[in-house]
Amino acid sequence: MITQGTIFPAPNFNPIMDAQVLGGALQGISCEKDVLIDILTQRCNSQRLMIAEAYRDMYGRDLITDLKENLSHHFKEVMVGLMYPPASYDAHELWHALKGVDTEENCLIDILASRSNMEIFQMKEAYLMQYNNDLQQDIDSETSGHFRDTLMNLAQGTRMEGYADPSSAAQDAMILWEACQRKTGEHKNILQMILCNKSYQQLWMVFQEFQNISGQDLVDAINECYDGYFQELLVAIVLCVRDKPSYFAYRLYNAIHEFGFHNKTVIRILIARSEIDLMNIRQRYKEKYGKSLFHDIKHFASGHYESALLAICAGDAEDY
């Protein structure tokens, strides 16, 4: 599968000119929000970082701070979110999910179930730099039970990559099937060890074998056997192994429809996937749910917040 984002490097990019225009937009009597959207959503992340550097040289001030001071609500979250490098953005989201008033389990699931070893390594480094805390220690202290054990395992970022052993796939599938039947603490542990440590290539074969052995899809089996955040996390891992864009389409659909537009989730997924696979996520969304992601955002959001989300989502003519 060829993955594609919706945001690309802008041609004829001039950070100094962009910084100047942003400075004008932020310093006017009324903040020119359309200008902010036009520039920040139409530049890729590395270009935005260069704009921030030019902005600091020019005005002696921090662009993120100026955005925070001039904007409010969800629109502010989008504009500020665009300014973080990917690993810092993940770290920022995890910190708030762990240290907020309530732990936001769904944010932890979204991020840790879907990132590669390299992304996890960089996110842990960013977390330590930004918050002077160890991500794994924070997960350990803010979550509990088998949910915590599974998150801790994912946060190690030690999944096998690129390796597959067809001869052991059936055996792994048997172990998974038994774990779903028996449900003891030890079996839960075995289950998460397989899902967190085997390579995607290996798990593809294991899931196929599981279906052959049990006559059941692994997601259905997990849903029947387990509950709570542990179950949600296991399902997320399985869905990400199968098809990441499909997983994020499902998460967006839930965030928009089941939770009455859960802004944080929508913002986080659009920003985090904008240069990775948001185009694929849009395709999956339309295939699975009949309406375009663009249409659904337009329906639920409004004002500059809506414009910013739609600019990141980028629509086709028929979506408007």
> Which tens digits make up the pLDDT trace of 61-120?
999 999 998 888 999 999 999 999 999 999 999 999 998 877 789 999 999 999 999 999
CA atoms within a 13 Å half-sphere pointing along the CA-CB vector of 319: 20
pLDDT at 244 over 90: yes
pLDDT band, residue 259 (cuts 50/70/90): low
| Through-space distance between the first and last CA atoms of the chain, rounded to whole angstroms | 27
Q: For all residues of the chain together, what is the average pLDDT?
A: 91
The alpha helices in the chain, defined as continuous H runs, are 15-27, 33-40, 45-59, 63-70, 73-82, 86-99, 105-112, 117-131, 135-142, 145-156, 166-182, 185-197, 200-214, 218-225, 228-242, 244-253, 263-273, 278-289, 293-300, 303-313
Largest CA distance in the chain: 69
The residue type at 141:
S
